[in-house]
Structure 1
Amino acid sequence: MGAGIGGLATSISLAQQGLDVTLVERRETVEALGSGITLIGPSLRALAALGLHDECLRRGYGFSNFDTFALDGSVASSFEIPSPVGTDQPGMLGMMRPALHSVLLDHALGLGVPIRTSAEPVSLHQVDAAVSVDFADGSRGEFDLVVGADGVRSTVRTLVFGDLPTTFRGQGCIRAVLPRPPGVSGEVQYHPAGDVFLGFTPTSDTSMYLYCSIPVPSDYRPTQEQIVDLLLEKTAPFGGLVADVRPDIGDPSLVNFASFETVLVPEPWHRGGAVLLGDAAHCPTPQLAAGAAMCLEDAVVLGEELGRSHSVEDALAAYSARRYDRCRFVVDTACQLSHWQTHPNTPGAEHERVTAEAFGRLAEPY
């Protein structure tokens, strides 16, 4: 359930195993909003396993260079983003989020996956070997397996595991789609200006998105016009490339804001024939750009385990065991980086070292 990145990827993974899949979405339409998305190497490895790697590269911008800049715009450091072990893929890919969603959706439909919209689950019950699901419109369905890939505020998680509240991390991010100057040929991050953390990800030969993370209160809900003004204010101390692109910031439709909430469901992630996947089970802050990677890996692993196990129960236990420690590492590390950004005077904070080491660890097999 859920037609975002995790749900679509899971539909593809399970359909490729020859399973009969129905994708259920609570909204009236299947679409993706937002700006750009950064896909680190493990995302590309998972997309390759799903047969989508080349199409995503055509729709985005692949690179392996990661540069950091001082506040005045001078280069501070550079390192190579590792490719996933055993591949020659770029270490990172930037693309527009609707473009990624379109690739996933088109592939799922091409595999014959039916999509049911406006379907909000209100109860789940295990009935013998099946899961019975009641929907808000009064209908009912029975399934051998229910996958909750319905995001950080997952309805399936609540129905299966009870109330597991998310944690607000005291930070949010403004993202703006902008023209890409020639100086942005890979991932760019600036040294912070106090508690303001900023960077760029190229998404095509002509476009990129700027991300600006700032401390915010839990009830912060700005208008689109306020987001533009706030971004102009927060980017003012930065020189170099940031100063060059600031005049391009202005169209409210190309700017959005999201606050950071996280969750990590204790292992195992399944009860009976219902299992959690992606942000429903393990939602990190975006500091490692690994949220999508973990969703895509979840989808691949779940398909692998269902293809090799003798029962659904065995497959779900193996899936959860393979994924928990890796996803916990991402949540814990990303939250540590978020804390350092909102508390810039923390002794021993080593943002660049921890980020580089995390990319190396995540490039290893899973």
Structure 2
Amino acid sequence: MTAVNKVAIAGAGVSGLAAAIQLAKAGVEVDVFEAKPELSALGSGISLQGNALRVFDALGAWDDIRAAGYPFEGLNLRAPGPGAPIVAELPDVKTGGPDYPAAMGMPRPALARILLDHAQKAGANVRFGAKVTGVEQGDGVEVFVDGAPVGSYDLLIGADGLNSAVRGLIGIQAKPEPTGMGIWRSFVSRPAEVVRSELYYGGPVYIAGYTPTGDDTMYAFLVEKAQDRFDITDEDATRIMLEESRAYEGPWNSIRADLEGGAHANYTWFTKHIVEEPWNRGRVVLIGDAAHSCPPTIAQGAAQGLEDALVLTQLLTERDEVDAALWDEFHARRLPRAKAVVDASVQLGQWQLDGVRDADVAGLMFGIAHQMAVPA
């Protein structure tokens, strides 16, 4: 017996597809509505901590994801300037436990394709080019897509990202706010010497770094003060990333060669927000980036969305009804944990914006990692 028989999910991102997989596996009828016309083939890479990998295993997708990514242990810190010497080799907390790597990088499009495949094989119906535009609640939830009713559901899960339409439809005012930092990203080839994430602090930007995503690939990034970079041409984007990277040597020499050869650079701002309890309004609930966002300074954004989906679907498939007790447990298990990640991620960036040189960066990062090592 499950608490729901028929569920609608807005959004076919990581959180939405994770929820779809678990519910469909339990025999729940699941319809996923994604506003984009198709699964995006674009994107750079994603860093996944061990607690995200633990969720993938629960979904039954871990073997496919491990084969498509690049698992690694530890983090290197390099100095800017000539030679880019490694100044520290830091261990990672295995937040997923001993059965999983400490971290893994992989191409975002590959992750999206794998989760979509598992959702469809489990029986979920996924519609692209279908934006949720309205909800009406009574005994259940009447869902409207592109202005037309598509059916009545026991629950609507809003997993439709940072600019969630569902969040607005249920009257929640919280929304992402810029933190003051922006990030350049590019998907490039991996030099053989790069076997884990590496970060450079100092120089003309706050952070320069890269993460391996496969045998031959990695994604590189530069974190700067947020600027209005959104209407520039592709050529100018590549030029700016090239110029800002010139203070960094080592593997950055290879990255620049790829940028000069035509690798695309894209730019986004870091944001922060968290919806205070409750994340639901009746039979509509938010998860993932719709409920919380933070800078990727500790690489926990995707992991937190995955944990939202896993905890919610556990409760929905183990209980007999959607009641106050279910929501109380969901919020007790998710809100403090997500808030801790948001607060720590924002703090790490703010220390850099403020030029704080004696901040306990390692202590904060390892403290959060130890919290994440305890299953949600």
TM-score normalised by structure 2 residue count: 0.91
Matches within 5 A, 1:206-217: 206-217=216-227
Out of 11, 26, 44, the position equivalent to 2:35 is 26
| Partner of residue 170, structure 1 | 180
What's the CA shift for 1:261?
2.1
Give 3-state SS (helix, strand or coil) of 1:176's partner.
Answer: strand
| Partner of residue 204, structure 1 | 214
What's the CA shift for 1:199?
0.9
- Whichever residue aligns with residue 279 of structure 2, its letter is W
Out of 268, 292, 295, the position equivalent to 2:278 is 268
The CA distance in 1 between the partners of 2:25 and 2:16, in whole Å, is: 14
- State yes or no: 1:328 paired with 2:339: yes
Give 3-state SS (helix, strand or coil) of 1:211's partner.
Answer: strand
What are the ranges of 5 or more consecutive residues in structure 1 without an aligned counterpart? Answer: none
Conservation of the 8 A alpha-carbon contact between 1:185 and 1:202? yes
The CA distance in 1 between the partners of 2:171 and 2:127, in whole Å, is: 24
- Whichever residue aligns with residue 331 of structure 2, its letter is S
- Whichever residue aligns with residue 353 of structure 1, its letter is G
The CA distance in 2 between the partners of 1:203 and 1:132, in whole Å, is: 41
Q: Note the aligned Cα RMSD (angstroms).
A: 1.8
Q: String of CA shifts for 1:285-324, please: whole Å, max 9, x gaps.
A: 1111111111111111111111222311333332222100
| Partner of residue 50, structure 1 | 59
Structure-2 change in CA distance of 1:219 and 1:189 (3 Å): closer
Matches within 5 A, 1:125-274: 125-128=136-139, 130-217=140-227, 220-252=230-262, 254-274=264-284
The CA distance in 1 between the partners of 2:336 and 2:250, in whole Å, is: 40
Give 3-state SS (helix, strand or coil) of 1:161's partner.
Answer: coil
What's the CA shift for 1:214?
0.8
Conservation of the 8 A alpha-carbon contact between 1:46 and 1:296? yes
| Partner of residue 301, structure 1 | 311
| Partner of residue 71, structure 2 | 62
Give 3-state SS (helix, strand or coil) of 1:312's partner.
Answer: coil
- State yes or no: 1:89 paired with 2:113: no
Range moving further from structure 2, 244-253 or 40-49: 244-253
Range moving further from structure 2, 332-341 or 81-90: 81-90
- Whichever residue aligns with residue 40 of structure 1, its letter is Q
The CA distance in 2 between the partners of 1:65 and 1:103, in whole Å, is: 26
Structure-2 change in CA distance of 1:143 and 1:283 (3 Å): same
Structure-2 change in CA distance of 1:218 and 1:245 (3 Å): closer
What's the CA shift for 1:259?
1.3
The CA distance in 2 between the partners of 1:137 and 1:121, in whole Å, is: 8
Structure-2 change in CA distance of 1:3 and 1:357 (3 Å): same
Give 3-state SS (helix, strand or coil) of 1:125's partner.
Answer: strand
Structure-2 change in CA distance of 1:218 and 1:164 (3 Å): farther
Conservation of the 8 A alpha-carbon contact between 2:238 and 2:264? no
The CA distance in 1 between the partners of 2:362 and 2:246, in whole Å, is: 23
Structure-2 change in CA distance of 1:297 and 1:175 (3 Å): same
Conservation of the 8 A alpha-carbon contact between 2:50 and 2:96? no
- State yes or no: 1:122 paired with 2:133: yes
The CA distance in 2 between the partners of 1:111 and 1:327, in whole Å, is: 28
Give 3-state SS (helix, strand or coil) of 2:141's partner.
Answer: strand
Conservation of the 8 A alpha-carbon contact between 2:25 and 2:123? no
| Partner of residue 105, structure 1 | 116
- Whichever residue aligns with residue 16 of structure 1, its letter is K
- Whichever residue aligns with residue 24 of structure 1, its letter is F
Conservation of the 8 A alpha-carbon contact between 2:39 and 2:113? no
The CA distance in 1 between the partners of 2:75 and 2:103, in whole Å, is: 9
The CA distance in 2 between the partners of 1:77 and 1:306, in whole Å, is: 45
What's the CA shift for 1:242?
2.0
Out of 76, 85, 88, the position equivalent to 1:74 is 85
Give 3-state SS (helix, strand or coil) of 1:21's partner.
Answer: strand
The CA distance in 2 between the partners of 1:195 and 1:253, in whole Å, is: 20
| Partner of residue 6, structure 2 | none
| Partner of residue 330, structure 2 | 319
Share of identical aligned residues, percent? 34
Give 3-state SS (helix, strand or coil) of 1:358's partner.
Answer: helix
The CA distance in 2 between the partners of 1:279 and 1:252, in whole Å, is: 31
What's the CA shift for 1:118?
2.5
The CA distance in 2 between the partners of 1:341 and 1:290, in whole Å, is: 19
The CA distance in 2 between the partners of 1:259 and 1:353, in whole Å, is: 26
Range moving further from structure 2, 191-200 or 49-58: 191-200
| Partner of residue 297, structure 2 | 287
| Partner of residue 4, structure 2 | none
Range moving further from structure 2, 112-121 or 59-68: 112-121
- Whichever residue aligns with residue 322 of structure 1, its letter is R
